[in-house]
Amino acid sequence: MMKRLRLLPGCALVAFLLLAAAPAPAPVLADDAKVAVLNPLGQPPPIARVPMAPRLDSLDGKTVYIVDIGFTDTHQFFTEMQKLLGERYPKTKWEVRTKTGTYFDDDPKLWAEIKEKGHAMIMGVGH
Amino acid sequence: MKTYAFKKGMPGFRFTFVPHPITGIPAELCNKYLQGSDPLTGKPVLGEIIDAITRPLSAEDASGGVIERPTPRLVAADTEENLHKLFLENGWTDGLPVVLPTEARVAEMLKGTSHEPDEVVGAMQASSPHEAWSYTVEQVAVNAVMAGAKPEHLPVILAIASMGGTSISTSTTSFAGMVVVNGPVREELKMNSGIGALGPFNHSNAVIGRAWTLISLNLGASGKPGEIYMGSLGNNYNYNNLCFPENEEDLPEGWNPLHVQKGFKPGESVVSTFLGWGFTHPDQSFGKPFHDQIPFWLKFVSPFSSTTLLLDPTIIKQLKENEGFGSKEQLIDWIHKNTKVTVGAWLDDYYAVQNFVLPYGRQGQEPLATWMKMPRDAEIPQFRSPGNINVLSLGGGTNFFWQAGDFGYLASASVDKWR
């Protein structure tokens, strides 16, 4: 790509005469000269899309798990959710579980239980 | 949440919000939030929950495939003014002016290392659940140029990048990083470990620390407030990560510099990183030995955390000559044995302990499980092991001062490897 450069007025001749003895002075870019710069960003990994689980056509007769990730002193939020959903959807079984460990830890046992006995899961993330 | 779900491969993931935070709020208020509306959408929370589990998926939501996200090597050419604006608006800077990374400047920077520009240096993530971005020597050099560094700084900056730790974690707690340089490279770069070492008085201290921030932002995908970065208050240390060289010259016999403590040879150049939140300047009692004052000063540090003491050479001289500590390790052992917290305070008072420590105690992990069964007035070590306590030499010896903080050691890397 061509860069439009403009030398300082009056300096061109001096620069020419000194070329053999010293490095040429850096050209000064005009205010509207375009500059090419490198991208500062790193390389994100490709994203493997995960097909989402099919939704329920009806809640009646279904078991829906409500999972508390275990952040301190938030369990009451999930039991209130269970209570309210139970009142509005009495034909649905609303099961509250607390994931084991800290919120960084996986809980394969719980996921296996939900896959076996549940039809959907609501997870609460946050604090 | 939307960004996170996208990166996990579910751009159409369904979620709803209630007012925040919910920690410690009574059931009545939880009930009110749940019967209220999502503050972002204005729609009823319970309605959004039911919608999320019953509304049929779109074809896109049910599909698989791969989303590629290549990073172009160059930014579209533009005027300097427009490029500075672009870098600022894209969040590629720390808010301060940067040096634009032209081809010529990056090529000059790359003269600071023998490594090939396309060599992969490492990978970094904003925190453990987030995706890791990878980066090359050239991409690190680009950020070094932006930070105002010179080619001679590049090996230190590459060594920092090679460790893969971000200085700008996603955490709501507002972490900051700390950089400690050891070995001959301190003198080569004319770094300042003396008077005002933590102040804005030295080019190398300034640009090396700043480069870690730019690397974290741009190569480690960290630091997009409200999207990836959730630090509620933020942390001013993020501007240059407390970068300083340890004052090795004033360490008395028996007191090893950090890199030797970590297994490197004294003549090796090494950079180490730490993570924490803050430092405080404790008051002191001149009528009491310095080591006796330390447990009192460390009361503010959570037992979940580590601690780091930044000691002026005058303090270290006192500790060595008048108080009998022949090494850093002796002092660290003394602090570990004599800095205590009651079980009651440990169980109740520390948010971090309840979230990150007690779950492991409940699973039977020792000594946590035993501590949880002890009487509330029993005392336990405030720091889990001597390895959670760090002592560093810093300062110009103008007075008996030091700083205590909650920074924990992360890792060390050879600078020489990146020359």
| Minimal-distance CA residue of chain B relative to A77 | B30
Residue B360 has a pLDDT of 87
Q: Which of residues 107-126 of A touch B (CB under 8 A)?
A: 120, 122, 125-126
Range of the domain at A111: 63-124
Q: Which helix (H) or strand (E) holds A64?
A: strand A63-68
Smallest Cβ–Cβ distance between A80 and the set B30, B128, B354 belongs to: B30
Whether residue A40 and residue B143 make contact (CB cut-off 8 A), yes or no, is: yes
Tell whether A87 is covered by a domain: yes
* Residue to test with chain B: of A49, A73, A94, most B Cβ within 10 A: A49
Q: Is A29 left (phi over 0), alpha (psi -120 to 50) or beta?
A: beta
Site of tokens 């939020």:
A77
Lowest mean pLDDT among A21-25, A109-113, B57-61: A21-25
Highest mean pLDDT among A45-54, A116-125, B258-267, B364-373: B258-267
Whether residue A39 and residue B74 make contact (CB cut-off 8 A), yes or no, is: yes
Residue A110 has a pLDDT of 96
Is the Cβ of B118 closer than 8 Å to some Cβ of chain A? no
Whether residue A43 and residue B359 make contact (CB cut-off 8 A), yes or no, is: no
- Distances in Å between the Cα of B18 and the Cα atoms of A60, B6, B23 are 26, 21, 12
Whether residue A43 and residue B135 make contact (CB cut-off 8 A), yes or no, is: yes
Whether residue B53 and residue A1 make contact (CB cut-off 8 A), yes or no, is: no
Residue A22 has a pLDDT of 47
| Cα–Cα distance measured from residue A61 to residue A77, given in angstroms and rounded to the nearest whole number | 24
- Distances in Å between the Cα of A101 and the Cα atoms of A98, A111, B8, B250, B362 are 9, 14, 22, 45, 8
Q: Is the pLDDT of residue A104 over 70?
A: yes
Tell whether A34 is covered by a domain: no
Lowest mean pLDDT among A15-24, A25-34, B97-106, B279-288: A15-24
Is the CB of residue B282 less than 8 Å from the CB of residue B405? no
Tell whether A28 is covered by a domain: no
**Phi, psi values for residue B88, rounded to 5°:** -65, -50
Q: Is the pLDDT of residue A14 over 70?
A: no
| Cα–Cα distance measured from residue B31 to residue B18, given in angstroms and rounded to the nearest whole number | 11
Residue B347 has a pLDDT of 86
Q: Is the pLDDT of residue A7 over 50?
A: no
Angle at B242 between CA B236 and CA B248, to 5 degrees: 165
Which residues on A lie below 8 Å from B13 (Cβ)?
A: 52
Angle at A35 between CA A29 and CA A41, to 5 degrees: 145
Residue A27 has a pLDDT of 55
Tell whether A91 is covered by a domain: yes
Tell whether A12 is covered by a domain: no
Which residues on B lie below 8 Å from A74 (Cβ)?
A: 22-23
Tell whether A45 is covered by a domain: no
| Minimal-distance CA residue of chain A relative to B357 | A102
Residue A25 has a pLDDT of 55
| Minimal-distance CA residue of chain B relative to A4 | B79
Residue A126 has a pLDDT of 65
Residue B352 has a pLDDT of 74
- How many domains does the structure of chain A reveal? 1
* Residue to test with chain A: of B89, B139, B162, most A Cβ within 10 A: B139
Tell whether A24 is covered by a domain: no
| Cα–Cα distance measured from residue A104 to residue A100, given in angstroms and rounded to the nearest whole number | 10
Smallest Cβ–Cβ distance between A42 and the set B50, B64, B220 belongs to: B220
| Minimal-distance CA residue of chain A relative to B105 | A37
Residue B23 has a pLDDT of 85
| Minimal-distance CA residue of chain B relative to A48 | B66
Which residues of chain B fall below pLDDT 70? 284-286, 349-351
Residue A30 has a pLDDT of 63
Tell whether A104 is covered by a domain: yes
| Cα–Cα distance measured from residue B309 to residue B405, given in angstroms and rounded to the nearest whole number | 6
ipTM of the complex: 0.90
Counted across chains A and B, CB pairs separated by less than 8 A come out at: 204
| Cα–Cα distance measured from residue B417 to residue B113, given in angstroms and rounded to the nearest whole number | 9
Q: Which of residues 77-106 of B touch A (CB under 8 A)?
A: 77-81, 83, 87, 92, 100-103, 106
Q: Is the pLDDT of residue A26 over 60?
A: no
Site of tokens 């460790």:
B163
DSSP classification of residue A103: T
Q: Over the stretch B18-51, which tens digit does the pLDDT of each residue have?
A: 998 888 889 999 999 999 999 999 999 999 999 9
| Minimal-distance CA residue of chain B relative to A33 | B79
Q: Is the pLDDT of residue A10 over 50?
A: no
Cα B212 to the center of its chain, rounded Å: 10
Q: Is the pLDDT of residue A24 over 80?
A: no
Is the Cβ of B47 closer than 8 Å to some Cβ of chain A? no
| Minimal-distance CA residue of chain B relative to A104 | B129
How far does the CA of residue B107 sit from the closest CA of chain A (Å)? 11
| Cα–Cα distance measured from residue B272 to residue B179, given in angstroms and rounded to the nearest whole number | 6
Smallest Cβ–Cβ distance between A76 and the set B7, B27, B87 belongs to: B27
Mean pLDDT of chain A: 80
Q: Is the pLDDT of residue A18 over 70?
A: no
Residue B1 has a pLDDT of 81
Site of tokens 């640009």:
B207
